[in-house]
Structure 1
Amino acid sequence: MKKKWWHEKVAYQVYPKSFRDTNGDGIGDLRGIIEKLDYFKELGVDIIWLSPIFCSPMADQGYDISDYYNIDPMFGTMEDMDELLAEAKKRDLHVLMDLVVNHCSDEHEWFKQAMKDPDGKYGKYFYIEEGKDGKVPCNWRSYFGGSVWEPIPGTNKYYLHMFHKKQPDLNWENEEVREEIYKMINWWLDKGLSGFRIDAIINIKKVLPFRDYPADRDDGTAACTVMLKDAVGVMDFLNEMADRTFRPHNAFTAGEVFNEKKEELPDFIGDDGCFSTMFDFNETVFGESDRGWYDFTRITPDDYKRCCFETQERIDDVGLISNVIENHDEPRGVSRYIPEGDCTDTSKKMLATMSMMLKGLPFIYQGQELGMENIGFNNIDEVDDIATIDQYHVALDAGCSEREALDIIAYYSRDNARTPFQWDESDNAGFTSGKPWLRVNPNYTKINAKDQVGRADSVFAYYQKLIALRKNPEYKETIIYGKLVPYMEDEKNLMAYYRKGENQTLLVIGNYQNESRVVKLPASVKSVLLNNYDDAAISSDGTIHLEGYQAVVMEL
């Protein structure tokens, strides 16, 4: 593997709307991020990814962009963005933005022009098709429910939206569209961005001509993801984009990639891949069902372990995957991957160890370093997220009671990760002096940054130690580039693996249960590098006694 500038880094995702509000309007802003840059430095991260801050009607929380060249006034101004880039650079922090180019907003000027003349120049910027015998062009179901086709008033035509109806898909088959996108990307990279997280990018290649797929719901629709398995040629687009933008700038890119085939991995994240890295979603997609969240299978500790190890085996030495516990599209990881009733600071530190010591680039989502948890819902009126509202009604239609439907969406909802950041125990968790746009988790008086920063036994302090260990000159070659080999893989509720370098072997071991246990060690222990308990009970007989949810990193 060719060594790259970003390999030793740790990344952090900021959801600006919920991070820090400085003007009292209840919405986080760029000045709030500038104000907290030293917080990132204290944690030890190097790369900051900002979820969308472009101009947007906010139909899908900024992932519906109406102007790629401007900052939405709710977040601030371009001058604020320039200041953020300058202040981050002073601190040796790299800033990424979200690149959302599978679709734009229906309020983007391109789409407005397309609706005026669907057969004209801008109509070809989108997928506009004639209806078939009074029906939509094909039976694909959007990610947010309902048909991917929306009628254009006064015509027999429809436009395609894989996501919300206010997010029309851009036609990547049109070279003029691609040129506009590349021009925009280069404009931002020239401004000082270090790169992008790239949203929903596999969707840019469609199966053409459009056709029906076997229905998987009673309404006759089929999940649009089925189409992705048949789509051919996306790599041509991605390599062209990389050649025209990312590669000349030596930019860092993290792709949101689903459904990739193993043989395609070198093309995505190999030494000369189109992206620097891509996210591991093996854990987040575990147990999914086309029927809806109500039919999902919840993940167990052994499932989580298998998912992590499957990804590590699949990636091998092709490149570095990006490991995540949570993000803006997922519930809080500690509420999902730790069995119900077992969520404590100890178990949160164990989960952090298991994820951060995997081979790959760690991405921490805001609040993860504090152990922020799911919020729960008392009624559907408390929900903001469009996907969650859709799944609530899917569950009701499947025969669930209102309480059952609320419990289902409370477990999986994206709103869980979007609640305001918990800075301190003051009103609204110190996020805003106004009314927050989304409810603050009531547990903010117990879980907040003010309490944890500087407290040696906090979850925050433990993340600091994990990051420091990853960067330790004595161990970083092994942690970053060393092989990952599972240990005692079949042992129930035990997650353990080696990290093997050229002349060094580390053992990472986590007791993924409340009950203590004794585990046989494969070799003598040279030193204990990290432990979420005060002591590591290593016996002379070559065993280690692990307390409930104890995690230990050892050099053998």
Structure 2
Amino acid sequence: MKKKWWHEKVAYQIYPKSFCDTNGDGVGDLRGIISKLDYLKELGVDLVWISPIYCSPMADQGYDISDYYNIDPLFGNMEDMDELMAEAKKRDIGIVMDLVVNHCSDEHEWFRKACEDPNGKYGKYFYIEEVKDGKLPSNIRSYFGGSCWEALPGHPDKYYLHLFHKKQPDLNWENPEVREEIFAMVNWWLEKGLAGFRIDAIINVKKSLPWKNYPADRDDGLSYVGNMLKEVSCHDFLTELRDRTFAKYNAFSVGEVFDEHEDTLPDFIGDDGYFSTMFDMSTAVCGASEKGWYERPHITANEYRDAVFSSQKKAWNVGFLSNIIENHDQPRGVSHYLPDGEVNDTSKKMLATLHFMVRGIPFIYQGQEIGMENVDFTSMDQIDDVMTHDEYQVALRAGLSPEEALESVKKMSRDNARVPFSWDASEYAGFTTGKPWLMNNPDYTRINLASQRQDEHSVYQYYRQLIQLRKNPEYKDTIVWGKTVPVYTDQDNLTAFYRQGEDQTLLVIANYQKEPQTITLEADVKNVLLNNCGEFQQKEKKLQLEGYQAVVLEMH
């Protein structure tokens, strides 16, 4: 494997609306990010991915872009962006932006011109089809629910494709003019000094043509998008994107990839892959039901372990995955992956240990480093997320009562991770002087950065220790490059693995339950590098682990 500059990095995701507000309008902004760069440096991160800040009507929180070359006034202006990149560079932090090019906004100039003249140049920038007798081109369901076909404004006999929100028309990548527009925009940003991009929903850019219907998988008569995607490969499009943009600038790129074909991992993240890395979504999709969120079971410790080990095995000798516990599209990881009633500082640190100690590039989502938890929403009125509202309706149609439907969807709601960062215990958690655009998590007086910064045993300080260990010259090569070798897999609720370097072996053991467990070590312990709780209890080769205890050991 070719070693690249990004392999040793630690990354951090910022959801700008909810990170830090400096002008009191209740919405986070670029100046807020600038004001927290020293905090990010203190934490130890090297790359900061910022969710979309381009001009947008915000139908899908900025993932509907109306101008790729400008900053939405909600967040500031281009001078703020230039200052952010310059100030981050002074601190050896690279800024990564979201690249959203499967679709744009219906308020983008291209789509407006397509509506004016569907048969002209810009009509070919999108998938626009004639519809006769109300028969839609296909029965694909939008990711946000309902048909992915919508009547073109001003043209009732024509429909356009939107795999996401109806205000997010899909761009026609089959049209070389569209690709040229995208490549020019990407390179413009890289020329400005951007470190790279996180590539959104990129697996969707290739459609199976001609359009057709697929077997319905819900009572709405529609079919999951993946049924179309598995018929096609976006190899040519992504190869061209890489060669024309990222490769020219040695830029970092991380793909959001779902539904990739079997055995295509080398195409995505191999030495000559489309991207530098891609997110390991294996735990995020574990237990997902085609019927909807209401039927999704809580993931077990063994399921979590098996998903991680499977991904580690697939990626070995291929490339680097980017490892996540959560992001802006997921609930809070500690609430999702830990059993109800067992979420505490010890179990949060245990999960963090597993996250950081497997091979790959660790991504921290804002608030994860202080152990922020899900919000106990009491009404759908408190929830902004369009996907949660769709899943609520799915649950109602399945026969759940309104109370049951709320209970079932709030656990998975994307707004769990989108509420403002809890900086301190003051009003609005120190996020804003105004009223936040989305409610604060009511537990901010208990879980906030200010209190944890002063506490050497806090979740925040433990994350700092994990990052420092990863960067420690004595262990860096093993943690970054070493092989992940699962061990003790016959024990329930135990996740353990060796990280094997050229001349060094580390053992990571996590007791993924509240009851103690004992294991028999295969070798002698040389050093205890990290321990999330209590004492290190070893007698001869027997190691006693307390509930949710995790240790990182250097072995002889």
When normalised by structure 1's length, the TM-score is 0.99
| Cα distance between partner residues in 2 of 1:132 and 1:238 | 34
Query: CA offsets per residue over residues 381-412 of structure 1, 9 Å max, x none?
Result: 11100000000010001000111111111110
| Cα distance between partner residues in 2 of 1:114 and 1:314 | 43
| Cα distance between partner residues in 2 of 1:454 and 1:377 | 30
Q: What does residue 542 of structure 2 align with? A: 543
Structure 1 counterpart of 2:208, one-letter code: V
Asked if structure 2 preserves the Cα contact closer than 8 Å seen for 1:103 and 1:169, the reply is: yes
Asked if structure 2 preserves the Cα contact closer than 8 Å seen for 1:19 and 1:28, the reply is: yes
Asked if structure 2 preserves the Cα contact closer than 8 Å seen for 1:262 and 1:314, the reply is: no
Structure 1 counterpart of 2:78, one-letter code: M
1:364 partner SS: strand
Q: What does residue 251 of structure 2 align with? A: 251
Q: What does residue 174 of structure 2 align with? A: 173
Q: What does residue 115 of structure 1 align with? A: 115
Q: What does residue 84 of structure 2 align with? A: 84
Query: CA offsets per residue over residues 272-306 of structure 1, 9 Å max, x none?
Result: 11100000011011111221111223211111111
| Cα distance between partner residues in 2 of 1:137 and 1:518 | 60
Asked if structure 1 preserves the Cα contact closer than 8 Å seen for 2:230 and 2:261, the reply is: no
| Cα distance between partner residues in 1 of 2:85 and 2:322 | 23
Asked if structure 2 preserves the Cα contact closer than 8 Å seen for 1:151 and 1:159, the reply is: yes
| Cα distance between partner residues in 2 of 1:470 and 1:534 | 22
When normalised by structure 2's length, the TM-score is 0.99
Q: What does residue 449 of structure 1 align with? A: 449
Q: How does 1:14-413 map to 2 (within 5 A)?
A: 14-152=14-152, 153-232=154-233, 234-413=234-413
| Cα distance between partner residues in 1 of 2:455 and 2:91 | 24
Q: What does residue 464 of structure 1 align with? A: 464
| Cα distance between partner residues in 1 of 2:398 and 2:357 | 41
Query: CA offsets per residue over residues 92-111 of structure 1, 9 Å max, x none?
Result: 00000000000000000000
| Cα distance between partner residues in 1 of 2:495 and 2:554 | 17
Query: CA offsets per residue over residues 119-175 of structure 1, 9 Å max, x none?
Result: 111000000011143221110000000000001243311000000000000000000
| Cα distance between partner residues in 2 of 1:257 and 1:224 | 14
Asked if structure 1 preserves the Cα contact closer than 8 Å seen for 2:101 and 2:182, the reply is: yes
Q: What does residue 8 of structure 2 align with? A: 8
Q: How many residues align?
A: 554
Structure 2 counterpart of 1:178, one-letter code: R
CA RMSD of aligned residues (A): 0.8
Asked if structure 1 preserves the Cα contact closer than 8 Å seen for 2:47 and 2:93, the reply is: yes
Deviant stretches of 4+, over 4 Å: none
| Cα distance between partner residues in 1 of 2:100 and 2:147 | 21
Give the gaps of 5 or more residues in structure 2: none
2:156 partner SS: coil
Q: What does residue 554 of structure 1 align with? A: 553
Asked if structure 1 preserves the Cα contact closer than 8 Å seen for 2:298 and 2:337, the reply is: no
Report how far residue 22 of structure 1 moved: 0.2
Q: What does residue 501 of structure 1 align with? A: 501
Give the gaps of 5 or more residues in structure 1: none
Asked if structure 1 preserves the Cα contact closer than 8 Å seen for 2:55 and 2:70, the reply is: yes
Structure 1 counterpart of 2:248, one-letter code: P
Asked if structure 2 preserves the Cα contact closer than 8 Å seen for 1:286 and 1:297, the reply is: no
| Cα distance between partner residues in 2 of 1:134 and 1:442 | 48
Q: What does residue 474 of structure 2 align with? A: 474
| Cα distance between partner residues in 2 of 1:154 and 1:59 | 22
Asked if structure 2 preserves the Cα contact closer than 8 Å seen for 1:200 and 1:257, the reply is: yes
Query: CA offsets per residue over residues 246-291 of structure 1, 9 Å max, x none?
Result: 0010000000011123421111101111100000011011111221
Structure 2 counterpart of 1:115, one-letter code: C
| Cα distance between partner residues in 1 of 2:490 and 2:230 | 32
Asked if structure 2 preserves the Cα contact closer than 8 Å seen for 1:12 and 1:48, the reply is: yes
Structure 2 counterpart of 1:201, one-letter code: I
Query: CA offsets per residue over residues 209-251 of structure 1, 9 Å max, x none?
Result: 111000111121001121110013x111111011111001000
Asked if structure 1 preserves the Cα contact closer than 8 Å seen for 2:15 and 2:328, the reply is: yes
Structure 1 counterpart of 2:68, one-letter code: Y
| Cα distance between partner residues in 2 of 1:188 and 1:154 | 35
Mean CA deviation greater in 131-140 or 169-178: 131-140
| Cα distance between partner residues in 1 of 2:365 and 2:194 | 20
1:412 partner SS: coil
Mean CA deviation greater in 102-111 or 307-316: 307-316
Asked if structure 2 preserves the Cα contact closer than 8 Å seen for 1:315 and 1:321, the reply is: yes
